[in-house]
Every structure is written in structure tokens, then in C-alpha cells.
């Protein structure tokens, strides 16, 4: 199994319209990691929504960051929280929500939703 991707692999660019609050939603339907207990792969759609402050998320680096979880062993709740914290650290957004919608396992479907509001 591989290590989790370093937070530094996320890249940003300056917000083109910081005077206005607006929302960016980015859906990555091809997230996959590995169950640390069984070794079976897990699949999810990662749905990110954020209101940028000074920085926007660079899409190509985000795509590689998402791909870098492919062989990492980690549970649903932990990985969704970890990715959310990485994004909050990189973007310092006015608002951020990350929904990790995992495919069914043993007939049971899990969705983890993390929300962040800058004070």
C-alpha cells in the first residue's frame, strides 16, 4: 500500500474576482482508495464546493492529488476528513464543503459530508 499524498501537491491560482462571494463546485467521480482492513478497493465521488477568498484550486494538480489516493489504505470517514483539511489548508476558503459519496459495500452505502465556514 502507498502513503497518502502530501498536502503540498495541491496547487492554487489567484481568485479572478475576490471582490465578490461566489461558489465553485468540482465533482471528481473517479476517486478510489483501499480498505485498510480487507484490502478491497473502495470507490467514491468526491464533491467539492467552496467560496474562494484569495486563492482558487488548480484543476490539473487536484486531479493528480485525487489519483494519488489510489493505493492508500484508509477508511471512508478518515479520508474524507483528511482531504477536506488538506483543501482548507491550501485554499483558506471563505466556505468549503466536501461530500465523499462511496459506492455500496455489502449492500450498504456510506456518504460523509464535511463543512467548513471561515470565521
Any contact of residue 7 with a copy of itself (CB under 8 A)? Answer: no
- Cβ atoms of residues 28 and 65 within 8 Å: no
* CA pair distance 59, 56, nearest whole angstrom: 9
The least distance separating a copy of itself from the CB of residue 100, rounded to whole angstroms, comes to 10
Which CB sits closer to a copy of itself, 11 or 43?
Answer: 43
CB count in 10 Å sphere of residue 108: 7
- Cβ atoms of residues 50 and 11 within 8 Å: no
The least distance separating a copy of itself from the CB of residue 6, rounded to whole angstroms, comes to 18
User: Active-site residue among 3, 21, 33, 42?
Assistant: 42
CA angle, 80 as apex, 79 and 82 as ends, to 5°?
60
Any contact of residue 94 with a copy of itself (CB under 8 A)? Answer: no
Residues forming the site for a copy of itself (CB under 8 A): 15-17, 20-30, 32, 40-41, 43, 52, 56, 59-60, 62-63, 66-67, 70-71, 75, 77-78, 80-81, 84-85, 103-116
Amino acid at each position: 500500500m502507498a502513503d497518502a499524498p502530501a498536502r503540498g501537491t495541491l496547487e492554487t491560482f489567484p481568485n479572478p474576482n475576490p471582490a465578490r462571494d461566489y461558489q465553485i463546485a468540482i465533482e471528481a467521480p473517479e476517486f478510489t482508495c483501499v480498505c485498510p482492513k480487507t484490502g478491497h478497493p473502495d470507490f467514491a465521488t468526491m464533491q467539492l464546493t467552496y467560496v474562494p477568498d484569495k486563492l482558487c484550486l488548480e484543476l490539473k494538480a487536484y486531479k493528480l492529488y485525487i489519483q494519488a489516493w489510489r493505493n492508500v489504505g484508509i477508511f471512508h470517514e478518515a479520508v474524507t476528513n483528511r482531504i477536506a483539511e488538506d483543501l482548507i489548508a491550501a485554499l483558506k476558503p471563505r466556505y468549503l464543503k466536501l461530500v465523499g459519496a462511496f459506492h455500496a459495500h455489502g449492500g450498504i452505502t456510506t456518504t460523509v459530508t464535511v463543512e467548513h465556514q471561515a470565521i
